[in-house]
């Protein structure tokens, strides 16, 4: 089968000054993922590689460049899922590693568990010989500055009056792919939301919310307001809609519309269906998406919402 790949790096009002960096980052990720798929590699390897490249890119809220929580710490969430076996690996609120998606992959390969959190996840990383890092290695000046400003706001609560214009970043990264054997995979990685409470876990490592993959329907990765995404189990809602006969594009739009109508949520989703059709939908002002077109060329775009949510 012809492989398919789509990646994203968040959906929000992405500041114009960072559009070029977003586009360059998603392009690099899509190119690396595609190189794996084009040479016969697995969808799982492709999404892991694409996401880890975006984790290394300080532009995004994942790995290096992640947001700081309320006590000035970086806690990372990630998930990877294999659509051929429905196996998944996820980590939540883990500190001191650069590539949580790689740790999530090790959970798939080397454990009979699905989700490890906090210190346990970090201990597992150490056990597997992953390099542990100091928080300074993940921290960028942009996020220190944001943190300092937020500290000056009394009783800051992100969920109060959440709108598509709510200040970001909402730069979670993700990928969905189909390989030559028709196997699907999805991965998502994030630093979560800025100024979150310590221990807050978003949608990204929750199966069916931040990602889902099933060879019989589709592979999806989500971004946006995590508390809304998890309430409608956004990724599974989208892949189930494919199972009920919707096209990939109709399913992506249906899932985002459902989130808005049921819980007033904002965000976006990427999808690859079991036929290799790719799609994305979002109800925020922008979404950063890259995919590989029918000629094998990477298309990387900062998309602007055309209509009201």
Q: Which residues are near ligand ASP by CB under 6 A?
A: 10, 61, 170-172, 190, 192-193, 202-204, 223-224, 226, 229
Active site residues: 172
- Between 40 and 198, whose beta carbon lies closer to ligand ASP? 198
> Measured from the CB of residue 100, what is the shortest distance to ligand ASP in angstroms?
12
> Measured from the CB of residue 74, what is the shortest distance to ligand ASP in angstroms?
13
> Measured from the CB of residue 184, what is the shortest distance to ligand ASP in angstroms?
21
| d(C-alpha 90, C-alpha 105), whole Å | 8
- Between 96 and 268, whose beta carbon lies closer to ligand ASP? 268
Bridge partners for 91 per DSSP: 78, 116
> Measured from the CB of residue 8, what is the shortest distance to ligand ASP in angstroms?
9
User: Kind of pairing, strands 87-94 and 115-117?
Assistant: parallel
**φ, ψ (nearest 5 deg) of residue 139:** -90, 130
- Between 37 and 53, whose beta carbon lies closer to ligand ASP? 53
- Between 84 and 188, whose beta carbon lies closer to ligand ASP? 188
CA atoms within 13 Å, Cβ hemisphere of 117: 10
Buried b (16+ CB within 10 A) or exposed e, 36-46: bbbeebbbbbb
């Amino acid at each position: 089968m012809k492989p398919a790949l789509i990646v994203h790096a968040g959906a929000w009002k992405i500041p114009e000054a960072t559009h070029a960096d977003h586009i360059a980052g998603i392009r690099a990720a899509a190119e690396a993922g595609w190189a794996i798929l084009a040479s016969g590699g697995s969808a799982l390897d492709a999404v892991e590689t694409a996401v880890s490249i975006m984790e290394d890119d300080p532009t995004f809220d994942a790995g290096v460049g992640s947001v700081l929580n309320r006590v000035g710490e970086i806690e990372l969430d990630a998930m990877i899922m294999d659509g051929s076996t429905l196996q998944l690996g996820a980590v939540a609120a883990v500190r001191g590693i650069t590539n949580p998606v790689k740790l999530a992959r090790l959970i798939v390969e080397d454990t009979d568990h699905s989700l490890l959190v906090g210190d346990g996840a970090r201990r597992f990383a150490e056990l597997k010989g992953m390099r542990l890092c100091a928080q300074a290695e993940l921290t960028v000046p942009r996020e220190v500055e944001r943190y300092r400003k937020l500290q000056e706001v009394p009783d800051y609560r992100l969920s109060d009056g959440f709108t598509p214009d709510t200040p970001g970043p909402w730069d979670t990264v993700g990928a969905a792919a189909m390989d030559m054997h028709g196997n699907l995979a999805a991965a998502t990685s994030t630093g979560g939301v800025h100024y979150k409470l310590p221990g807050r876990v978003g949608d990204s490592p929750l199966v069916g919310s931040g990602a889902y993959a099933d060879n019989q329907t589709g592979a999806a990765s989500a971004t946006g307001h995590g508390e809304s995404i998890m309430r409608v189990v956004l990724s599974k809602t989208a892949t189930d809609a494919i199972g009920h006969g919707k096209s990939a594009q109709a399913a992506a739009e249906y899932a985002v519309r459902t989130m808005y109508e049921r819980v007033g949520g904002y965000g976006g989703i990427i999808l690859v269906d079991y036929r290799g059709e790719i799609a994305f939908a979002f109800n925020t002002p922008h979404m950063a998406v890259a995919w590989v077109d029918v000629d094998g060329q990477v298309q990387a775009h900062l998309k602007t919402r055309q209509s009201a949510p």
